[in-house]
Amino acid sequence: MELWLIPIFPFIGFLLNGIFGRRLSKPVISAIAAGSVLLSFLWVLKTLSGLGAFSGGLEEAHVEHYFTWIQSGALNIGVDFAVDRLTAVMLMVVTGVGFLIHVYAIGYMDHEGGFYRFFAYLNLFMFFMLILVLGANFLLLFVGWEGVGLCSYLLIGFYFLEKFATDAGNKAFIVNRIGDFGFSLAVFLIFTHFGSLDFGKVFSQVKDMPVETSPGWLTAVCLLLLVGATGKSAQIPLYVWLPDAMAGPTPVSALIHAATMVTAGVYMIARSSALFLHTTDSLEIVAIIGLATAFFAATIGLAQNDIKKVFAYSTVSQLGYMFLGLGTGAFSAGIWHLMTHAFFKALLFLGAGSVIHALSGEQDLRQMGGLLKKIPITAATLFCGGLAIAGVPPFSGHYSKDAILESAYIHAPWMYWVGTITAGMTAFYVFRALFLTFFGEYRGSIGKEKHDDHHHGHGHDDHGHGHSHGIHESPFIMWGPLAVLAILSVVGGFMFNIPKFLEPIFKLEEEGGIPGWVGMVPMIAGFAGIGLAYVFYVLAPSIPESLAGGFGWLYRAIYNKYFVDEFYDSTVVRPLVDGSRTLLWRTADAGLIDGTVNGIGKTARAVGGILKRTQSGFIRDYAAWVVAGSIAVILAMALWGGVTGGAR
């Protein structure tokens, strides 16, 4: 089916824009960038329908082999692509949502420098992301995995004149490297024990292993894969890079840091479900990490004032839900939430971008308000996204979140309750952001006085410099994608029943024994969150201020994200750098090792310096040495002879 065409279209787009982009006009660059992703999307559709994915087919994976990548002894790794129903879902999400975001970005980036560079990176990202989901072995998955990390690094640091942006890029890359450390160790263990990295071979071997005796190394493999996933998908303890990643342009936040790349960890664990199902301990840990991340990120989201930061923490939190789904055995529910989240979170970010666009770069919620009438299309679409994430039926998030929480209830009721409380918080902080943006009075300065550039301080993505001509709705090229995503956020849940579609891969549990209220309570929590946000931020704005004052320490802890960054900095980064400088470099390397080397050199020179005196070049000196030597020899012989003679 020529699967390779799917990633190759955006790759060609990357090459064209990357090499010739500086000489191309913006319409041409846009056409290449968005067009290549559209071609890719169409080819996905054609391939999937050809394989019968839309008509009950594709129950087995379809594999294509292209060429041998690495061959060494027993190790043989091919460039192989495979499509099964899980990949099909990912392909649709990545190319579909990816295309919409490309179109949006044409409008959003219109007045930015480095237009061609942006789209070259974005297309390269699509290429690697498609490799990631198409790869038929762990190493190819890893290629995509690292490749999307690279693009994430480049796009976070897109505004490379700003130090905070490149700092954020470095942080993302390095924190992800820590995760990849785990992933790569898992790969080595898998090859050592299975003799292959092909998904097909590894998983069929696992299925033949007895479940009762899952060996320690298999648990190690799963935990190491989980380490990789916590890096890429921003889970505790490696989530710290994602909020900073908002330094990149907003379409990047939507595409990479919400809809697609950050879900790679979820995909990878779902892909490796055969391994995880054999080691129930590690699944339990997946669930706990997911739940903890969902909860803590939601609490941080309560107190953020940057609209993108709010959505960033909500992404971390929603990814936690997906992990909770995976960990409680509801793999398909996790993937379902991955899809609906891609719709509504891309929508929320792009909508936020549209707000930022309207306000000429302003991201601070305290400088917004009352925008409902000024940018009505953006507002309407954003509220669709808000209702979806809050889990209000019939919006898409309701269905997938419900499936996860039901699975959590069966697994352990306390997980269900924590997840439900988190759902309430989610609804609260998302609607807090929306109410602060659209309701009440406008608190910003645009149109009142001359636009003040100083608002573009730390944490802002520099958007919209030099075009501050009043608050305005975004052009069609931006709100068009918003509208499509809004529709998907509404209907995506009941239209696409992912668990049923994925049944050939993930067996569905027998439903039953779940009380009816289990599905109701999270919904009620969602409504309560929205209602509370309405009371706090529309009806009585004085309440949150007095609350923040009353619980000052708690508010400060949350506002400062529990000081996790500072903690990592003082316990890991500083000691490592300072220790390397003083202990390793100055003391060990320059002092000890090189000191020894130079010391040997000096000693040799000193000894030579003494011996040098014997070589004066004067005959009489040499004659004197000969005489002295002879005397010494004779004396020695006499003495030695005397001693031995005496002994005799």
Q: Is 569 in the site for another protein (CB under 8 A)?
A: no
Instruction: List, in order, residues 6 or more apart from 274 with CB less than 8 Å away.
Output: 202, 203, 206, 207
Q: Which residues pair with 303 in a beta bridge?
A: none
Q: Is 69 in the site for another protein (CB under 8 A)?
A: yes
Burial label, 454 (beta-carbon count in 10 A; 0-12, 13-18, 19+): exposed
Q: Sketch the per residue contact string, 245 through 264, with another protein: x for CB under 8 A, - otherwise.
A: --------------------
8 Å CB contact between 525 and 421: yes
Closest contact distance (angstroms) between CB of 574 and another protein is 12
Q: Sketch the per residue contact string, 131 through 160, with another protein: x for CB under 8 A, - otherwise.
A: --------x--xx--xx--x--x---x--x
8 Å CB contact between 244 and 459: no
Stretches 188-196, 472-480, 484-492, 636-644: which one binds another protein (CB under 8 A)? 188-196
Q: Is 66 in the site for another protein (CB under 8 A)?
A: no
The H or E element that residue 443 is part of is none
Q: Which is nearer to another protein, 220 or 491 (CB)?
A: 220
Pick from 72, 213, 542, 644 the residue near another protein by CB under 8 A.
Answer: 72
Q: Which is nearer to another protein, 585 or 640 (CB)?
A: 585
Q: Is 571 in the site for another protein (CB under 8 A)?
A: no
Region label for 56, one of left (φ > 0), alpha (ψ between -120 and 50) or beta (otherwise)? left
Closest contact distance (angstroms) between CB of 29 and another protein is 16
Closest contact distance (angstroms) between CB of 584 and another protein is 5
Q: Is 75 in the site for another protein (CB under 8 A)?
A: yes
β-pairing, 75-83 with 62-72?
antiparallel
Q: Which is nearer to another protein, 151 or 356 (CB)?
A: 151
Is the bond preceding residue 243 a cis peptide, omega within 30 degrees? no
Q: Is 192 in the site for another protein (CB under 8 A)?
A: yes
Q: Which residue type does 400 have?
A: S
Q: Which is nearer to another protein, 113 or 552 (CB)?
A: 113
Size of the site for another protein (CB under 8 A): 49
- Other Cβ atoms closer than 10 A to 376: 13
Pick from 65, 163, 207, 443 the residue near another protein by CB under 8 A.
Answer: 163
Closest contact distance (angstroms) between CB of 75 and another protein is 6
Radius of gyration of the chain (CA): 32
Stretches 104-112, 163-171, 486-494, 542-550: which one binds another protein (CB under 8 A)? 163-171
Q: Which is nearer to another protein, 577 or 624 (CB)?
A: 577
Q: Is 458 in the site for another protein (CB under 8 A)?
A: no
Q: Is 554 in the site for another protein (CB under 8 A)?
A: no
Q: Which is nearer to another protein, 302 or 588 (CB)?
A: 588
Distance CA 344, CA 490 (A): 9
Q: Which residues pair with 81 in a beta bridge?
A: 64, 135
Closest contact distance (angstroms) between CB of 592 and another protein is 8
Closest contact distance (angstroms) between CB of 248 and another protein is 14
Residue found under tokens 């693009």:
151
- Other Cβ atoms closer than 10 A to 101: 30
DSSP characters over 183-239: HHHHHHHHHHHHS--BHHHHHHHHHHS-SS---HHHHHHHHHHHHHHHHHTT-TTST
Burial label, 166 (beta-carbon count in 10 A; 0-12, 13-18, 19+): middle
3-state secondary structure of 80: strand
Burial label, 373 (beta-carbon count in 10 A; 0-12, 13-18, 19+): exposed
8 Å CB contact between 282 and 226: yes
Pick from 52, 60, 174, 628 the residue near another protein by CB under 8 A.
Answer: 174
Closest contact distance (angstroms) between CB of 168 and another protein is 11
Residues within window 598-617 making contact with another protein, judged by CB under 8 A: 601
Q: Which is nearer to another protein, 92 or 190 (CB)?
A: 190
The site for another protein (CB under 8 A) is made up of 67-75, 139, 142-143, 146-147, 150, 153, 157, 160-161, 163, 166-167, 169-170, 173-174, 177-178, 180-181, 184-185, 188-189, 191-192, 576-577, 579-581, 584-585, 588-589, 593-594, 597, 601
